[in-house]
């Protein structure tokens, strides 16, 4: 089940929130846990067992760290190894086997395992708990059911943001529920639904057309990857908005995950704005423990490359993701040690163009798990594929999707000062906002009723 589906919007969500606001506070976590397990079981019930095992291992590690204080590190390391081993088998097992078979001309059979939805997210959350507990940054959680509620909470279970235990530790025990918070959460949910359904799904159609086009051009190749960049942004940030919104409706304050990444003027800035919970995770649990930047230049470069190789691997079991991670690692190293002083001197517009071009190349690497197709597409983008600069397909698709592209552009930049500049009275602006979000919801539902195209890109991560 996904948030942007009719069963969730008109069956699961209304029933859950009705019961959630009726039952006494002492029952709310139990209700949330039960519905979270139902939500997860909707798609693949067998993998509930895997999530429970991961949760119990890390919960038990926490209790053992509390009881045997002199062996805290041992229990932490063991729980991390087991959690990563489970993630490795299910997510990377077939990738490793296929590469071993190709390298050594052997025939190890593939594992008959599908990728459990959300395993990367809940595994990282469990790891963050035991590491923070080892560092004595959080108290031990003595209730397994409360810990299980934290791990399995359906608003952020399958696509993040990656919520650290310390972020919601107090709110798991006591939290405020009021109409204002519910309203803010509901509007945030509707915003995310519109981004996912109305923008990501529709601009994704343009990317699919161009990706499979028999008569491409240089300009069409760039238009295609721009469409993909918008699709993955609105797809993932829309889902994050829905998760954060439902969190507010439940009384939880999840951390933000996106902050208008396409306004960045460097790749360093881009990764401070894109998937911020993942960047923070790798910074706090990999980069800093390795020594961060408080070491020699060569070790700092090593640390950056390790972090970005792991970032690429986290996104999927394919060589293009490893290449994508190293691509960004190298650019970040160049910016840190060579390009920073030059970038500072450039006009803001030039810096923005620089960042966008590199981001689009990065999305090209990300989009193709077939390395041959990847390099063919890159050749087409850079006049190396013997293609015309523009052709009839370019004009036709450009005209048909022009309005949508403009809307995507406007939706990907902050317009927070617009209300102040227009000097609209508060009562009118608030009413207009509510009407606007109702329109988004109705239009999204109409699209879901009428269309069968409703992919979610981050399911595979």
* For residues 189-218, average pLDDT: 94
Domain count, the chain: 2
pLDDT band for position 158 (cuts 50, 70, 90): confident
φ, ψ of residue 382 in degrees (nearest 5): -115, 35
pLDDT over 60 (residue 420): no
Q: Do 235 and 289 fall within a single domain?
A: yes
Residue 453 pLDDT exceeds 90: no
Burial of 234 (0-12, 13-18, 19+ CB in 10 A): buried
Peptide bond into 390 cis (omega under 30): no
Together in a domain, 419 and 284: yes
CB 216 within 8 A of CB 378: no
Residues recorded for the chain: 461
Distance, in Å, from the CA atom of 313 to the CA atom of 93, rounded to the nearest integer, reads: 13
Q: Which of these, 247, 266, 177, 359, lies nearest to 257 by C-alpha position?
A: 247
- At 425 the pLDDT is 58
pLDDT band at 416 (very low <50, low <70, confident <90, very high): low
What is the rounded CA–CA span in Å between residue 385 and residue 390?
13
- Give the pLDDT score at 458: 54
Residue 374 has pLDDT above 90, yes or no: yes
- Choosing from 253, 315, 352, 372, the catalytic residue is 315
Distance of CA 274 to the CA centre of its chain: 9
Contact assessment for residue 239 and residue 121, using Cβ atoms and an 8 Å cutoff? no
Q: What is the DSSP letter of 68?
A: -
Last residue of a domain, one of 175, 193, 208: 175
Verify that 189 and 246 share a domain, yes or no: yes
Please tell me whether residue 402 adopts helix, strand or coil conformation. helix
Longest dimension (CA), the chain: 72
Inform me whether the pLDDT recorded for 90 exceeds 60: yes
Ramachandran bin of 118, using left for φ above 0, alpha for ψ from -120 to 50, beta for the remaining angles: left
Q: What confidence category does residue 37 fall into, taking pLDDT thresholds of 50, 70 and 90?
A: very high
User: Does the pLDDT of residue 423 top 80, yes or no?
Assistant: no
Angle at 230 between CA 228 and CA 235, to 5 degrees: 95
Backbone phi and psi for residue 438, each to the nearest 5 degrees, phi listed first: -65, -40
- Of 71-85, 155-169, 286-300, 362-376, the poorest mean pLDDT is in 155-169
State how far the Cα of 171 lies from the Cα of 251, in Å rounded to an integer.
Answer: 7
The domain boundary residue, chosen from 119, 150, 175: 175
Angle at 388 between CA 385 and CA 389, to 5 degrees: 105
Residues 287 and 396 in one domain: yes
Q: Is the per-residue pLDDT at 456 higher than 60?
A: no
The CA-based angle 231-386-396, given to 5 degrees, is: 45
pLDDT of residue 432: 80
- Is 315 considered catalytic here? yes
Q: In the chain, pLDDT over 90 holds for what percent of residues?
A: 77
> Are 127 and 162 in contact, with CB atoms under 8 Å apart?
no
Q: What is the pLDDT of residues 278-291, one digit of tens each?
A: 999 999 999 999 99
Q: Is residue 1 part of a domain?
A: no
What's residue 360's pLDDT?
98
Please, which pLDDT band fits residue 157 given cuts at 50, 70 and 90? confident
**CA dist., res. 308 & res. 18, Å (int):** 43
Overall average pLDDT of the 119-145 stretch: 94
Range of lowest pLDDT (106-120, 166-180, 205-219, 278-292)? 106-120
Least confident of 106-120, 215-229, 256-270: 106-120
In this predicted structure, what is the pLDDT of residue 457?
Answer: 60
- 118 and 211: one domain? no
- 106-120, 161-175, 219-233, 318-332: lowest mean pLDDT where? 106-120
DSSP state of 176: -
Mean pLDDT across 259-274: 96
Q: Which domain holds residue 352?
A: 181-460
Q: How confident is the model at residue 160, as a pLDDT?
A: 72
Residues 222 and 242 grouped into a single domain: yes
Average pLDDT of the segment spanning 349-368: 96
Q: What does the pLDDT average to over 408-420? A: 78
What is the pLDDT confidence band of residue 419, given thresholds at 50, 70 and 90? low
Q: Tell me if 35 sits within 8 A of 16, measured CB to CB.
A: yes
Structure tokens that stand for 456 in this block = 């979610």
Picking from 160, 336, 171, 141, the residue whose alpha carbon sits closest to that of residue 248 is 171
- Nearest-CA neighbor of 1 among 118, 102, 80? 118
Q: Which residues touch 90 (CB under 8 Å, ≥6 apart)?
A: 50, 113, 115, 116, 119
**Any domain includes 317:** yes
Question: For the residues 367-371, what does the mean pLDDT come to?
Answer: 93
- Indicate if 107 and 234 belong to the same structural domain: no
Q: Which residues contact 417 (CB under 8 A, 6 or more apart)?
A: none
Residue 350's pLDDT band, with cuts at 50, 70 and 90, is very high
Same domain, 328 and 391: yes
Angle at 273 between CA 92 and CA 269, to 5 degrees: 105
Q: Of 123, 158, 175, which residue is a domain's last?
A: 175
Q: What is the mean pLDDT of residues 396-402?
A: 95
* Residue 428 predicted with pLDDT over 70: no
Note whether 295 and 443 are same-domain residues: yes
In this structure, the answer to whether residues 249 and 344 fall within a common structural domain is yes
How buried is residue 328: exposed, middle or buried, by Cβ count under 10 Å (0-12/13-18/19+)? Answer: buried
Give the rounded distance of the alpha carbon of 48 from its chain centre: 21
- Please check whether residue 197 is in contact with residue 454, taking contact to mean a CB–CB distance below 8 angstroms: yes
Mean pLDDT of the chain: 91
Residue 424 clears pLDDT 70, i.e. is over it: no
What are residue 451's phi and psi, to 5 degrees? Answer: -120, 150
Same domain, 313 and 204: yes
């Amino acid at each position: 089940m996904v948030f942007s589906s009719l069963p969730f919007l008109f069956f699961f969500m209304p029933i859950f929130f009705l019961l959630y606001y009726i039952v006494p506070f002492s029952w709310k976590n139990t209700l949330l846990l039960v519905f979270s397990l139902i939500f997860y079981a909707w798609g693949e019930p067998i993998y509930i067992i895997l999530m429970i095992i991961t949760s119990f291992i890390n919960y038990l590690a926490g209790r053992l760290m509390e009881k045997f204080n002199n062996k805290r590190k041992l229990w932490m390391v063991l729980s991390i190894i087991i959690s990563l081993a489970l993630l490795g088998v299910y997510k990377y097992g077939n990738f490793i086997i296929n590469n071993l078979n190709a390298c050594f001309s052997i025939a190890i059979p593939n594992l008959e395992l599908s990728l459990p939805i959300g395993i990367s997210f809940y595994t990282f959350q469990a790891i963050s708990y035991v590491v923070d507990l080892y560092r004595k940054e959080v108290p031990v959680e003595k209730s397994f059911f409360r810990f299980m509620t934290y791990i399995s909470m359906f608003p952020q279970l399958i696509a993040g943001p990656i919520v650290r235990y310390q972020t919601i530790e107090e709110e798991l025990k006591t939290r405020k529920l009021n109409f204002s918070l519910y309203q803010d959460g509901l509007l945030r949910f509707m915003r995310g639904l519109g981004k996912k359904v109305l923008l990501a799904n529709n601009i994704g159609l343009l990317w699919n057309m161009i990706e499979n086009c028999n008569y491409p051009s240089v300009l069409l190749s760039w238009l295609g990857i721009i469409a993909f960049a918008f699709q993955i942004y609105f797809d993932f940030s829309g889902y994050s908005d829905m998760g954060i919104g439902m969190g507010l409706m439940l009384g939880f304050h999840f951390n933000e995950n996106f902050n208008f990444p396409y306004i960045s003027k460097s790749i360093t800035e881009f990764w401070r704005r894109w998937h911020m919970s993942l960047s923070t995770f790798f910074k706090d649990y990999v980069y800093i423990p390795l020594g961060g930047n408080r070491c020699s230049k060569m070790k700092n470069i090593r640390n950056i490359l390790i972090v970005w190789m792991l970032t690429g691997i986290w996104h999927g079991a394919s060589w293009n993701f490893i290449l994508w991670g190293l691509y960004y690692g190298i650019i970040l190293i160049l910016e840190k040690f060579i390009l920073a002083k030059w970038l500072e001197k450039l006009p803001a517009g030039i810096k923005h163009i620089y960042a966008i071009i590199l981001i689009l190349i990065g999305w090209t690497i990300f989009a193709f798990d077939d390395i041959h197709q990847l390099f063919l597409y890159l050749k087409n983008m850079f006049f190396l594929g013997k293609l015309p600069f523009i052709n009839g397909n370019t004009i036709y698709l450009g005209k048909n999707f022009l309005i949508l592209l403009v809307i995507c552009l406007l939706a990907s930049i902050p317009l927070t000062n617009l209300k102040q500049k227009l000097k609209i009275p508060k009562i009118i602006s608030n009413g207009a906002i509510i009407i606007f979000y109702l329109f988004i919801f109705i239009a999204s539902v109409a699209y879901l009723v009428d269309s069968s195209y409703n992919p979610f890109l981050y399911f595979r991560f």
